[in-house]
Structure 1
Amino acid sequence: MNDYLVKAMAYGGFVRVYAVNATDTVSQAQKRHDTWNTASAALGRSLIGGLLLGSTVKGEDTITVRVEGDGPGGTIIVTSNGRGEVKGYIQNPYVSLPLNEQGKIDVRGAVGTKGMLSVTKDLGLKEPFSGQVPIVSGELGADFTYYLAVSEQVPSSVGVSVLVDTDDSIKTAGGFMLQMMPGASEEVATALEERLQYLPNISTMLDEGKTPEEILDFIFADESVVVLDKIPVQFKCDCSKERFAAGLISLGAQEIQNIIDEDHGAEAVCSFCGNKYYFTDKELAELKQEATETN
């Protein structure tokens, strides 16, 4: 279990904490979308944020994150669930910018500083819950933090970090999320703020061989951390030829006939994972028949 997420609590349950190693998960996304270094970091941070938020819901329930900034990366969409599965893509995977003033990958430059971050939770109810906030940083960790404070009224701190190697591959990727529960004292909040100021990048700590549990121990120093759960995480897409077939049927018989006449077959490509599905003329004719019967 290389990639996994730890759920824990500290300060007698007044602080809920999560830490994740998502190196293989982000690496899988980088390979599938052939992202360049700055796009890799932006997509990777979004995937980590999605995993952290996804860990707060149950099983099949899903969370979809949309980052719509004004940077060259374009829109980033990530969907995760309570089982540690995540998928996502960045509109323009080919973004490679010069390092920023701190000598680090310029994620803000790829994402932009104007736009919206929105989160939709589908908890199996009639209507999904949706909240959105303006992008306040573009570095994404601060943006997830701001979303939780404004939309969910939970004082939080989110850190998301991706270390990209010189060949554009992912060296390490991970993050953490701290949430203050009702009744937590100002002293606890102040102590954590001070600790977080001196916290190295999570990806650097992972590169040094630290585990998610050790990262939490570092954050909380002498305070004991009680681990509640440990779940494997992975990049996983639920696309299928059947799903794309249903999408074609919904276009209607005439539109399917147009595809047969003009293209003599169809190729569908999943935005989330890059998988391709081919439909022959014969298969399209069968789908056209289904569309006709449906209507």
Structure 2
Amino acid sequence: MKPKITVFGEMLWDMLPSGKQPGGAPMNVAIHLKNFGMNPAFISRVGDDDLGVELMEYLTNQEFNTDYIQTGITHLTGIVKVNLTDKTEVTYKIVQPVAWDYIQTTPENILLVKDSDVFVFGTLSVRSEQSRNALFELLNEAKLKVFDVNIRPPHLDRATTEFLLQQADIVKVNEQELNTVCGWFGIQPEVETQMKFLYERFHLKLVCVTLGADGAVVLSGNGFHRQGGYVVEVQDTIGSGDSFLAMFLKEYISGSSIPQALQKACAVGALVASYSGATPKISEAELDQFITIKQ
């Protein structure tokens, strides 16, 4: 029986120079989990507008579970203006307020989280009081809590981020986010030192840091685990870290070793970066062939 995974957070349209594409880190993670053979549930909110209808149609066409996505009539569906001047360092202008700022707690999503084996959440959706309160309530019901630290200035609050770190079991960050968080505590920018600090300070089970083209490193109770990067021709890095997290989680909770999970996660993150957009569908066959060729 497949583990039950619930993802909480923003869903939106990335407005790219080439046109709009579905996005939002939590939705990207959920879509990649679905593409990797899992059946995640997703708690979010869209507006009662054309963009909301189109986003829901996109998910429905992928046979994605939309049962827990709310529709509001007051606020518009979220959009993000994406700057791709540097393909490896994408920047975002995130419109506020929008529908996903107003995710509500319901009896249905409380039961959903109680029944889930894994609960995935990030930082951006807690920029608003409504969604923040909903997340905090759901965290009380969650089992294995996975915190994707997805810092998008100016949408960052130190006290809230620290609270979420205290709630988490597994934390995934990139190198810049690691520097930001550890800088609050005066920890010098050396990756393993910073990881050990987070692991011990917040009593975590795993800390996972993505290093871009240099791969990733995980700290667990068995020490550090490293995986080098895979060289690809980068189209853009949108969704690369989200696909990494989805694959790592899928492998980890399915019983793979951390080195095995890291290898597949780094490979799929590189493959996604070789496509345009956040959620290209990567098949197991394509992934296995890619790893074989690159070894």
TM-score normalised according to structure 1 size: 0.30
Structure showing the higher strand proportion among its residues: 1
Structure showing the higher helix proportion among its residues: 2
Q: Which has the larger radius of gyration?
A: 1
TM-score normalised according to structure 2 size: 0.30
Q: Compare relative contact order (CA 8 Å, sep 6+) and give the higher one, 1 or 2.
A: 1
